Structure 1
Amino acid sequence: MKTIAIDMDGVLADVYQQFIDMHLAESGITLERNDMVGKAEAEAFPHLLKHVNSNGFFETAPLMAGSQQALKELSKHYRLFIVSAATEFPLSLAEKHSWLGKHFPFITWQQMVFCGSKEIIKTDIMIDDHFKNLDVFEGKTFLYTQPHNENASPGKHQRVNDWQEIQKILLP
Protein backbone atom coordinates (compact mmCIF):
# COMPACT_ATOMS: atom_id res chain seq x y z
CA MET A 1 0.00 0.00 0.00
CA LYS A 2 1.40 3.40 -0.97
CA THR A 3 1.99 5.99 1.73
CA ILE A 4 1.14 9.68 1.99
CA ALA A 5 2.68 12.27 4.32
CA ILE A 6 0.15 15.04 4.96
CA ASP A 7 1.10 18.35 6.55
CA MET A 8 -1.13 19.63 9.31
CA ASP A 9 -1.01 23.45 9.47
CA GLY A 10 -2.34 25.04 6.30
CA VAL A 11 -3.35 21.68 4.81
CA LEU A 12 -5.61 20.01 7.41
CA ALA A 13 -5.88 22.84 9.94
CA ASP A 14 -6.93 26.25 8.63
CA VAL A 15 -4.33 28.25 10.54
CA TYR A 16 -4.85 31.26 8.26
CA GLN A 17 -8.44 31.51 9.50
CA GLN A 18 -7.21 30.98 13.06
CA PHE A 19 -4.77 33.91 12.70
CA ILE A 20 -7.48 36.07 11.12
CA ASP A 21 -9.94 35.27 13.93
CA MET A 22 -7.39 35.91 16.68
CA HIS A 23 -6.26 39.18 15.10
CA LEU A 24 -9.88 40.35 14.87
CA ALA A 25 -10.59 39.43 18.49
CA GLU A 26 -7.45 41.21 19.64
CA SER A 27 -7.52 44.34 17.48
CA GLY A 28 -11.01 44.67 16.00
CA ILE A 29 -9.40 44.63 12.55
CA THR A 30 -10.31 42.00 9.95
CA LEU A 31 -7.37 40.80 7.88
CA GLU A 32 -8.24 39.81 4.31
CA ARG A 33 -6.70 36.73 2.68
CA ASN A 34 -6.33 38.59 -0.62
CA ASP A 35 -4.04 41.11 1.11
CA MET A 36 -1.79 38.23 2.23
CA VAL A 37 -1.08 36.79 -1.21
CA GLY A 38 2.65 36.55 -1.82
CA LYS A 39 3.57 37.46 1.76
CA ALA A 40 5.38 35.17 4.16
CA GLU A 41 3.18 34.19 7.09
CA ALA A 42 5.28 36.26 9.52
CA GLU A 43 4.68 39.32 7.34
CA ALA A 44 0.96 38.63 6.84
CA PHE A 45 0.29 38.12 10.54
CA PRO A 46 1.84 40.81 12.74
CA HIS A 47 1.34 38.80 15.96
CA LEU A 48 2.22 35.37 14.56
CA LEU A 49 4.69 34.34 17.28
CA LYS A 50 2.41 35.56 20.05
CA HIS A 51 -0.50 33.57 18.64
CA VAL A 52 1.33 30.30 17.91
CA ASN A 53 2.77 30.40 21.41
CA SER A 54 -0.58 31.00 23.09
CA ASN A 55 -2.59 28.24 24.73
CA GLY A 56 -5.28 26.83 22.47
CA PHE A 57 -4.01 28.14 19.13
CA PHE A 58 -3.40 24.72 17.59
CA GLU A 59 -6.09 22.85 19.50
CA THR A 60 -8.89 25.15 18.33
CA ALA A 61 -7.84 25.74 14.71
CA PRO A 62 -10.68 25.18 12.24
CA LEU A 63 -10.59 22.34 9.74
CA MET A 64 -9.80 22.81 6.08
CA ALA A 65 -13.00 22.23 4.15
CA GLY A 66 -13.40 18.65 2.98
CA SER A 67 -10.32 17.31 4.76
CA GLN A 68 -12.10 14.83 7.05
CA GLN A 69 -14.03 13.12 4.30
CA ALA A 70 -11.04 13.15 1.96
CA LEU A 71 -8.77 11.48 4.52
CA LYS A 72 -11.42 8.84 5.28
CA GLU A 73 -11.57 7.97 1.58
CA LEU A 74 -7.81 8.16 1.06
CA SER A 75 -7.23 5.88 4.06
CA LYS A 76 -9.02 3.09 2.17
CA HIS A 77 -6.33 3.17 -0.52
CA TYR A 78 -3.21 4.58 1.16
CA ARG A 79 -1.39 4.43 4.48
CA LEU A 80 -1.64 7.99 5.80
CA PHE A 81 0.81 9.82 8.05
CA ILE A 82 0.17 13.27 9.46
CA VAL A 83 3.55 14.99 9.49
CA SER A 84 3.99 18.25 11.35
CA ALA A 85 7.14 20.22 12.13
CA ALA A 86 5.67 20.63 15.59
CA THR A 87 8.96 20.80 17.44
CA GLU A 88 9.36 24.36 16.11
CA PHE A 89 6.68 25.28 18.66
CA PRO A 90 7.09 22.68 21.44
CA LEU A 91 3.96 23.84 23.28
CA SER A 92 1.96 22.75 20.23
CA LEU A 93 2.74 19.04 20.55
CA ALA A 94 -0.06 18.12 22.96
CA GLU A 95 -2.52 20.45 21.23
CA LYS A 96 -1.83 18.99 17.79
CA HIS A 97 -2.17 15.45 19.14
CA SER A 98 -5.50 16.39 20.74
CA TRP A 99 -6.73 18.19 17.59
CA LEU A 100 -5.97 15.18 15.40
CA GLY A 101 -7.73 12.83 17.83
CA LYS A 102 -10.81 15.04 17.83
CA HIS A 103 -11.10 15.62 14.07
CA PHE A 104 -9.47 12.46 12.66
CA PRO A 105 -10.17 9.66 15.17
CA PHE A 106 -9.31 7.06 12.51
CA ILE A 107 -5.70 8.35 12.46
CA THR A 108 -3.80 6.43 15.15
CA TRP A 109 -0.91 7.71 17.24
CA GLN A 110 1.40 5.57 15.07
CA GLN A 111 0.39 7.70 12.08
CA MET A 112 1.25 11.02 13.77
CA VAL A 113 4.78 12.23 13.09
CA PHE A 114 5.89 15.32 15.00
CA CYS A 115 9.35 16.36 13.88
CA GLY A 116 11.69 19.24 13.17
CA SER A 117 12.86 18.93 9.58
CA LYS A 118 10.70 16.92 7.21
CA GLU A 119 13.71 15.85 5.15
CA ILE A 120 13.70 12.54 7.03
CA ILE A 121 10.19 11.65 5.77
CA LYS A 122 10.21 8.78 3.26
CA THR A 123 6.69 8.18 1.98
CA ASP A 124 5.52 7.85 -1.61
CA ILE A 125 3.62 11.15 -1.64
CA MET A 126 3.77 14.39 0.35
CA ILE A 127 1.09 17.09 0.55
CA ASP A 128 2.36 20.35 2.07
CA ASP A 129 2.01 24.11 1.67
CA HIS A 130 5.71 24.95 2.09
CA PHE A 131 8.41 24.56 -0.53
CA LYS A 132 11.04 23.99 2.19
CA ASN A 133 9.36 20.66 2.98
CA LEU A 134 8.52 19.59 -0.56
CA ASP A 135 11.88 20.51 -2.10
CA VAL A 136 13.79 17.98 0.06
CA PHE A 137 11.24 15.20 -0.46
CA GLU A 138 12.10 12.40 -2.90
CA GLY A 139 8.58 11.18 -3.81
CA LYS A 140 5.60 12.73 -5.59
CA THR A 141 4.80 16.18 -4.20
CA PHE A 142 1.64 18.26 -4.03
CA LEU A 143 1.80 21.97 -3.16
CA TYR A 144 -1.35 22.89 -1.25
CA THR A 145 -2.27 26.46 -2.20
CA GLN A 146 -2.12 29.03 0.58
CA PRO A 147 -1.68 32.81 0.26
CA HIS A 148 2.06 32.63 1.01
CA ASN A 149 2.69 30.34 -2.01
CA GLU A 150 -0.12 31.44 -4.33
CA ASN A 151 2.02 33.62 -6.62
CA ALA A 152 4.94 31.21 -6.74
CA SER A 153 5.47 28.77 -9.57
CA PRO A 154 4.96 25.26 -8.22
CA GLY A 155 8.05 24.11 -10.12
CA LYS A 156 8.36 20.33 -9.89
CA HIS A 157 5.43 20.11 -7.46
CA GLN A 158 1.82 19.66 -8.54
CA ARG A 159 -0.36 22.46 -7.18
CA VAL A 160 -3.65 21.53 -5.51
CA ASN A 161 -6.25 24.00 -4.29
CA ASP A 162 -8.51 21.92 -2.06
CA TRP A 163 -9.28 18.43 -0.81
CA GLN A 164 -11.77 17.70 -3.60
CA GLU A 165 -9.01 18.22 -6.14
CA ILE A 166 -6.68 15.91 -4.19
CA GLN A 167 -9.35 13.20 -4.13
CA LYS A 168 -9.84 13.48 -7.89
CA ILE A 169 -6.11 13.01 -8.45
CA LEU A 170 -5.36 10.28 -5.90
CA LEU A 171 -8.49 8.16 -5.74
CA PRO A 172 -9.41 5.53 -8.34
Structure 2
Amino acid sequence: MPDARLRTAAERLDTPTDLSAEASRQIAEGLTILLADFFALYMKTKNFHWHVSGPHFRDYHLLLDEQAAQIFAVTDDVAERARKIGGTTLRSLGQAAQKARILDNDAEYVDPLDMLAELRDDNKATTSRMRELHALCDEHDDVSTASMLEEWIDQSEERTWFLYEASRRGEATGH
Protein backbone atom coordinates (compact mmCIF):
# COMPACT_ATOMS: atom_id res chain seq x y z
CA MET A 1 0.00 0.00 0.00
CA PRO A 2 1.46 3.40 -0.96
CA ASP A 3 2.44 5.82 1.78
CA ALA A 4 -0.64 7.93 2.69
CA ARG A 5 1.55 11.05 2.76
CA LEU A 6 2.21 10.63 -0.97
CA ARG A 7 -1.47 10.58 -1.92
CA THR A 8 -2.91 13.70 -3.50
CA ALA A 9 -5.53 15.79 -1.73
CA ALA A 10 -8.14 14.60 -4.23
CA GLU A 11 -7.28 10.97 -3.52
CA ARG A 12 -7.64 11.59 0.22
CA LEU A 13 -11.21 12.86 -0.34
CA ASP A 14 -12.18 10.14 -2.84
CA THR A 15 -15.05 8.37 -1.05
CA PRO A 16 -15.69 4.84 -2.41
CA THR A 17 -18.92 4.49 -4.38
CA ASP A 18 -20.37 2.08 -6.90
CA LEU A 19 -21.32 4.99 -9.17
CA SER A 20 -19.02 5.50 -12.13
CA ALA A 21 -16.41 8.23 -11.79
CA GLU A 22 -18.28 10.28 -14.41
CA ALA A 23 -21.64 9.85 -12.64
CA SER A 24 -20.09 10.80 -9.33
CA ARG A 25 -18.46 13.88 -10.84
CA GLN A 26 -21.60 15.06 -12.66
CA ILE A 27 -23.99 14.49 -9.78
CA ALA A 28 -21.65 15.95 -7.15
CA GLU A 29 -21.18 19.05 -9.32
CA GLY A 30 -24.96 19.33 -9.73
CA LEU A 31 -25.38 19.05 -5.97
CA THR A 32 -22.70 21.68 -5.39
CA ILE A 33 -24.44 24.12 -7.71
CA LEU A 34 -27.75 23.32 -6.00
CA LEU A 35 -26.09 23.99 -2.65
CA ALA A 36 -24.91 27.38 -3.91
CA ASP A 37 -28.46 28.11 -5.07
CA PHE A 38 -29.84 27.13 -1.68
CA PHE A 39 -27.41 29.43 0.13
CA ALA A 40 -28.31 32.30 -2.23
CA LEU A 41 -32.02 31.60 -1.83
CA TYR A 42 -31.61 31.37 1.94
CA MET A 43 -29.81 34.72 2.06
CA LYS A 44 -32.35 36.43 -0.18
CA THR A 45 -35.22 35.02 1.87
CA LYS A 46 -33.59 36.25 5.09
CA ASN A 47 -32.91 39.65 3.46
CA PHE A 48 -36.59 40.02 2.65
CA HIS A 49 -37.55 38.66 6.09
CA TRP A 50 -35.42 41.37 7.72
CA HIS A 51 -36.61 44.19 5.45
CA VAL A 52 -40.29 43.48 4.83
CA SER A 53 -42.66 46.22 5.95
CA GLY A 54 -46.28 47.22 5.66
CA PRO A 55 -49.70 46.11 6.84
CA HIS A 56 -48.94 42.38 6.42
CA PHE A 57 -45.55 42.65 8.11
CA ARG A 58 -46.12 39.96 10.74
CA ASP A 59 -47.51 37.37 8.32
CA TYR A 60 -44.79 37.92 5.72
CA HIS A 61 -42.02 38.19 8.33
CA LEU A 62 -43.00 34.83 9.84
CA LEU A 63 -43.58 33.14 6.46
CA LEU A 64 -40.16 34.17 5.20
CA ASP A 65 -38.47 33.08 8.43
CA GLU A 66 -40.11 29.64 8.19
CA GLN A 67 -39.08 29.31 4.55
CA ALA A 68 -35.50 30.40 5.22
CA ALA A 69 -35.21 27.84 8.01
CA GLN A 70 -36.52 25.10 5.71
CA ILE A 71 -34.02 26.02 2.99
CA PHE A 72 -31.09 26.18 5.40
CA ALA A 73 -32.07 22.83 6.95
CA VAL A 74 -31.32 20.94 3.72
CA THR A 75 -27.91 22.49 3.02
CA ASP A 76 -25.96 19.97 5.10
CA ASP A 77 -27.77 17.05 3.46
CA VAL A 78 -26.96 18.42 -0.02
CA ALA A 79 -23.26 18.83 0.78
CA GLU A 80 -22.96 15.49 2.54
CA ARG A 81 -24.64 13.70 -0.37
CA ALA A 82 -22.01 15.11 -2.73
CA ARG A 83 -19.30 13.78 -0.42
CA LYS A 84 -20.97 10.37 0.01
CA ILE A 85 -20.80 9.74 -3.72
CA GLY A 86 -17.12 10.63 -3.96
CA GLY A 87 -17.33 14.30 -4.86
CA THR A 88 -16.46 17.49 -3.11
CA THR A 89 -18.60 20.53 -2.45
CA LEU A 90 -18.48 24.22 -1.58
CA ARG A 91 -15.51 25.51 0.34
CA SER A 92 -16.34 29.22 0.63
CA LEU A 93 -18.92 31.94 0.19
CA GLY A 94 -16.95 33.15 -2.82
CA GLN A 95 -17.27 29.79 -4.51
CA ALA A 96 -20.99 29.72 -3.64
CA ALA A 97 -21.44 33.17 -5.18
CA GLN A 98 -19.69 32.06 -8.38
CA LYS A 99 -21.87 28.97 -8.79
CA ALA A 100 -25.27 30.29 -7.63
CA ARG A 101 -27.94 30.90 -10.24
CA ILE A 102 -30.21 32.88 -7.88
CA LEU A 103 -29.74 36.60 -8.40
CA ASP A 104 -29.14 38.89 -5.43
CA ASN A 105 -31.47 41.75 -4.63
CA ASP A 106 -29.56 44.52 -2.90
CA ALA A 107 -32.20 47.19 -3.47
CA GLU A 108 -32.66 49.75 -0.70
CA TYR A 109 -36.41 49.05 -0.67
CA VAL A 110 -38.52 46.31 -2.25
CA ASP A 111 -42.31 46.31 -2.11
CA PRO A 112 -43.50 43.36 -0.01
CA LEU A 113 -45.56 41.84 -2.84
CA ASP A 114 -42.57 42.17 -5.16
CA MET A 115 -40.46 40.35 -2.55
CA LEU A 116 -42.91 37.47 -2.47
CA ALA A 117 -43.16 37.33 -6.26
CA GLU A 118 -39.39 37.32 -6.66
CA LEU A 119 -38.96 34.54 -4.13
CA ARG A 120 -41.84 32.63 -5.75
CA ASP A 121 -40.05 32.77 -9.10
CA ASP A 122 -36.69 31.82 -7.53
CA ASN A 123 -38.23 28.81 -5.80
CA LYS A 124 -40.00 27.78 -8.99
CA ALA A 125 -36.72 28.00 -10.95
CA THR A 126 -34.96 25.99 -8.24
CA THR A 127 -37.64 23.31 -8.51
CA SER A 128 -37.08 23.09 -12.25
CA ARG A 129 -33.32 22.79 -11.78
CA MET A 130 -33.79 20.05 -9.19
CA ARG A 131 -35.92 18.14 -11.70
CA GLU A 132 -33.02 18.36 -14.18
CA LEU A 133 -30.62 17.01 -11.57
CA HIS A 134 -33.14 14.26 -10.76
CA ALA A 135 -33.11 13.24 -14.44
CA LEU A 136 -29.30 13.02 -14.29
CA CYS A 137 -29.57 10.84 -11.19
CA ASP A 138 -32.08 8.59 -12.98
CA GLU A 139 -29.70 8.32 -15.93
CA HIS A 140 -26.95 7.04 -13.59
CA ASP A 141 -29.27 4.96 -11.36
CA ASP A 142 -28.50 7.11 -8.30
CA VAL A 143 -31.74 6.35 -6.49
CA SER A 144 -30.62 7.83 -3.17
CA THR A 145 -29.88 11.31 -4.53
CA ALA A 146 -33.05 11.12 -6.63
CA SER A 147 -35.08 10.26 -3.53
CA MET A 148 -33.61 13.20 -1.61
CA LEU A 149 -34.33 15.49 -4.53
CA GLU A 150 -37.96 14.38 -4.54
CA GLU A 151 -38.35 15.61 -0.96
CA TRP A 152 -36.59 18.91 -1.71
CA ILE A 153 -38.73 19.40 -4.83
CA ASP A 154 -41.86 18.91 -2.74
CA GLN A 155 -40.63 21.49 -0.23
CA SER A 156 -39.78 23.95 -3.00
CA GLU A 157 -43.20 23.47 -4.60
CA GLU A 158 -44.84 24.20 -1.26
CA ARG A 159 -42.77 27.37 -0.80
CA THR A 160 -43.75 28.46 -4.32
CA TRP A 161 -47.42 27.79 -3.58
CA PHE A 162 -47.37 29.71 -0.27
CA LEU A 163 -45.56 32.66 -1.86
CA TYR A 164 -48.02 32.66 -4.75
CA GLU A 165 -51.05 32.65 -2.49
CA ALA A 166 -49.61 35.24 -0.11
CA SER A 167 -48.76 37.60 -2.99
CA ARG A 168 -52.14 37.49 -4.74
CA ARG A 169 -53.84 40.83 -4.87
CA GLY A 170 -57.47 40.89 -3.72
CA GLU A 171 -59.84 39.71 -6.42
CA ALA A 172 -63.50 40.65 -6.76
CA THR A 173 -65.74 37.84 -5.56
CA GLY A 174 -68.87 38.96 -7.40
CA HIS A 175 -70.79 39.62 -4.16
TM-score above 0.5: no
TM-score, with structure 2 as normaliser: 0.31
TM-score, with structure 1 as normaliser: 0.32
Normalized per residue, which structure has more helix? 2
The structure number with the bigger radius of gyration is: 2
